[in-house]
Chain A
């Protein structure tokens, strides 16, 4: 299992390289000129030209990329061309809040999604199943920003129950906890549907397998039959699918952070792209991709932990 993880880790390196390359090239395609952005609208052409040389933008593309890569492996992602803050420092400040938001969103939505999916599978075709399926489809179809706006308007604005702008401190303080509820409800809310649907399918598959009949023949209660012999096995595919979905949830985090002014990587990315802050935008792309890769690694390890057949 250890070798398996190391193997996966090594395989992540070319993936990451690809991400850096694509991110770099994307920024070249954007019609904005970084030197022009840096110099400001009132700068003379001479100043812009000098800046371009200074920033190395007059060199051939491969050379620019080589320099970027060389700095990257040293942990240097450049400085923001808007406010001169090192990109690494800005990323360091925003990764925490994003992780916090992801955690607060997943901690409740995954268990609820799995429970709903299991209930739906067990009572397949019954009223409970139909309600859950309808809920899952509806939930999965609501855009993140819309759910966020509805929560802001109703819970935050009309009822004045919870704050809805920004982060108010770490999770373990009362203010911090209150501030994260609405963003976490938004981001987690759109996740319940997909998790429930995937779980329902997986549990349904396992419920038809002979070993479930064996479990019943032993005289086990239905709760044990479903949890230990159906859900436990179904978790193997569910973990894989949920892992993939968490990657896509990073996209949802970008929207949620923007809607709720949550000071995370997603909002940083949007801000950087809108203001043509090239190094910053590239940095956020790299960090979000890294997140995706790490999640996939965790899924791989979890997969082996859940399935004894993978261990030998």
Chain B
């Protein structure tokens, strides 16, 4: 992918938390591109650093964390080096974000309308109150909320989870951002609502031409939505490629393990494959490849060599010294 095709480029990003044993990296040297008008899915188990990566892009890393190294380039502008005020102007306007918990992501004491117009006013101080209200109702209509005029003056507790997530999306898109970061946008919703929200996101993306970073642990969602996929493990990207690459020709044992844990109707399996153990915390990363203690294919070298991302085919990279071997075949055996 050439540089001009990407809206956002993350270069060697390292986000650390200070601790008594020195800095601990939650995001450790991540390089990624977000294609213009397309969707990048970032996948991984909880604790892999995917949420911290998104907060790093937004400049919202909670204290005592900070970006220690690397650049976040939106077009030509490095967000990581912006002043707090400069970053504020980007947040919500150029890059918007929606979160996992639609129940708690809206403020219970302010009306839907107040929260929507507040977001718009933050980036357009000149707009009149009536104009903002009109735009807010229009935004609610765009996310297909029925009777938006009435919803405008209602409070979050009067809405269902799916409706709240729609409000969040309306709020995120109210300033026409070029990039939307959706952090587990459907995880807390039931399956039917989940599908509706994903449909909505896809339609809105087609309508506005924005790029989307979709962060999830749910490979089904990624398969449905993403054009490109990055798999994260222990603060690093371990495999990147197009959705086709990742789903049809996974090369990293971790990716293969993740794919093995999706239930499939067409296959008659006695049990789901799963990856034993869990992501180690940043202060307990093993030597060598960080996945080696959980990897069924690990050899001795894996405990010594920290594998870099290698390009296996154009655009398809994996960080495994054993790739490309026919791991997929091994696993079936």
Contact = CB atoms under 8 A, between A and B. Distances in A.
A209 B109 CA distance: 13
B99 A213 contact: yes
Contacts of B105: 210-211, 213-214
Given A219-B119, A219-B123, A309 B155 contact: yes
Nearest to B103: A210
A214 B116 CA distance: 11
B38 interface: no
B97 A217 contact: yes
B109 A220 contact: no
Interface in A293-312: 306-309, 312
B93 A219 contact: yes
A309 B108 contact: yes
A2 interface: no
B107 interface: yes
Contacts of B88: 219-221
A236 B109 CA distance: 10
Contact of A233 (B60, B109, B171): B109
B124 to A, nearest CB: 11
Given A219-B90, A308-B108, A309-B155, A214 B168 contact: yes
Nearest to B58: A217
A232 interface: yes
B81 interface: no
Interface residues of A, number: 24
Given A218-B92, A219-B93, A219-B119, A306 B109 contact: yes
A214 B110 CA distance: 13
A221 B89 CA distance: 9
B122 A232 contact: no
Interface in A182-218: 209-211, 213-218
A308 B159 CA distance: 13
A229 interface: yes
A306 to B, nearest CB: 7
Nearest to A214: B105
Contact of A210 (B92, B93, B101, B118): B101
10 nearest A-B residue pairs (beta carbon): A219-B92, A219-B91, A218-B119, A218-B92, A308-B155, A211-B107, A210-B104, A217-B97, A210-B105, A219-B122
23 contacts: A211-B106, A214-B105, A214-B168, A214-B171, A217-B91, A217-B172, A218-B91, A218-B122, A219-B88, A219-B93, A219-B123, A220-B92, A220-B118, A221-B88, A224-B118, A228-B107, A228-B110, A232-B109, A232-B110, A308-B109, A308-B157, A309-B155, A312-B158
Interface of A: 209-211, 213-222, 224, 228-229, 232-233, 236, 306-309, 312
Interface of B: 58, 60, 84, 88-93, 96-97, 99, 101, 104-111, 118-119, 122-123, 155, 157-158, 168, 171-172, 175
Given A214-B107, A218-B91, A219-B89, 14 more contacts: A210-B101, A210-B105, A211-B108, A214-B99, A214-B105, A214-B106, A216-B91, A217-B60, A218-B119, A220-B92, A222-B84, A228-B110, A232-B110, A233-B107
